[in-house]
Amino acid sequence: MPAAGDQTHFGRRTVRLDEKQGLVNDVFHSVASRYDLMNDLMSFGLHRIWKDILVAKVRPSLSRPFSHVDVAGGTGDIAKRVANAGGPLTEVTVVDINGDMLRMGERRLGRCPYANRLKFIEGDAEALPLPDARFDAYTIAFGIRNVPRIEDALKEAHRVLKRGGHFLCLEFSRVDLPVMDRLYDAYSFAAIPAIGQVVTGDGAAYRYLVESIRKFPPPERFADMIVAAGFARVDFTRLSGGVVAIHSAWKL
Ligand SMILES: C[S@@+](CC[C@H](N)C(=O)[O-])C[C@H]1O[C@@H](n2cnc3c(N)ncnc32)[C@H](O)[C@@H]1O
């Protein structure tokens, strides 16, 4: 367990481990109201397809009770897909550390037909305010690289899942195709902060997002971290030339 004085990354900067969460929270407070629009602009709508692929792997039951938790769930993009894909006994809990992001989600999804099957809870992925062995599936999409102590978040995912429960993580990864990697870098570092500046007034927030992607461990190393948290049958799938990867694992 790292001491509070240990260091980590906040984008390109090296910061104290106990300082990072506050900096991450400032980013998402600043962009919350335009977060969904920015996702569409930055990814040319691709984030919708990646999220659909993630939720297709969840496969919530159409007839039996199914408890799902989406951590770092932000404005509820994954939660709405799981609730929509599952049956009337599928319930989804969204946990996020940032109340502004959750409120955007509650406002957006408050009137959808499955609103009564969604619950929004403010909480930290590193110390989930949830009971042991409660959920059939756990997702975290574009969230884990923002969490200061990734190992703690993975242990918490394992704790709250039932035996036989499914862990799924969608995260930016490493582009591994020649030429495309250089185009991707140029687009990320030049265009995304500029678009962020125009749309949200906070280009620095989007510079952090781009830089944090480069600091996140490569998929092979992240898979080892998932194994170390106690999960079995750990594997990953790269999508869109490695722009993102979906990690899958089971609590057996
Ligand atoms: C890039 S957004 C992803 C939101 C959503 N999952 C999506 O795919 O659109 C990252 C989210 O992680 C949340 N977050 C950051 N650190 C967290 C933590 N320690 N625990 C829970 N949520 C956290 C942020 O507040 C933010 O809503």
**Mean of pLDDT values over 45-50:** 96
Q: Residue 5 above 70 pLDDT?
A: no
| Residues 220, 14 contacting (CB under 8 angstroms) | no
pLDDT of residue 2: 47
Distance from the alpha carbon of residue 178 to the mean position of ligand 1, in angstroms: 31
pLDDT of residue 11: 84
Q: Residue 43 above 70 pLDDT?
A: yes
Nearest CA residue ID for atom 4, ligand 1: 74
Count of H helices and E strands in the chain?
10, 9
pLDDT of residue 12: 85
161: CB partners within 8 A, 6+ apart:
133, 135, 136, 137, 138, 167, 251
What whole-number distance in Å separates Cα of residue 37 and Cα of residue 45? 10
Helix, strand, or coil (residue 227): helix
List pLDDT tens digits, range 115-159: 999 999 999 999 999 999 999 999 999 999 999 999 999 999 999
Percent of the chain with pLDDT over 70: 98
Report the nearest atom of ligand 1 relative to the CA of 74. 27
Percent helix, strand and coil across the chain, each rounded to 5?
Answer: 50, 25, 25
Q: DSSP readout, 229-252?
A: TT-EEEEEEEEGGGTEEEEEEEE-
Distance from the alpha carbon of residue 164 to the mean position of ligand 1, in angstroms: 25
pLDDT of residue 176: 82
Q: What's this model's pTM, rounded to 2 decimal places?
A: 0.94
Nearest CA residue ID for atom 26, ligand 1: 74
**Mean of pLDDT values over 186-208:** 91
**CB under 6 Å to ligand 1: residues?**
21, 24, 28, 71-74, 77-78, 96-98, 101, 124-126, 141-143, 146-147
**Within its chain, how far is the Cα of 89 from the centroid?**
24
Residue 167 carries which side chain, given as an amino acid letter?
A: F
Q: CA angle 128-133-137, nearest 5°?
A: 80
C-alpha distances out from residue 201 to 129, 197, 213, Å:
33, 4, 21
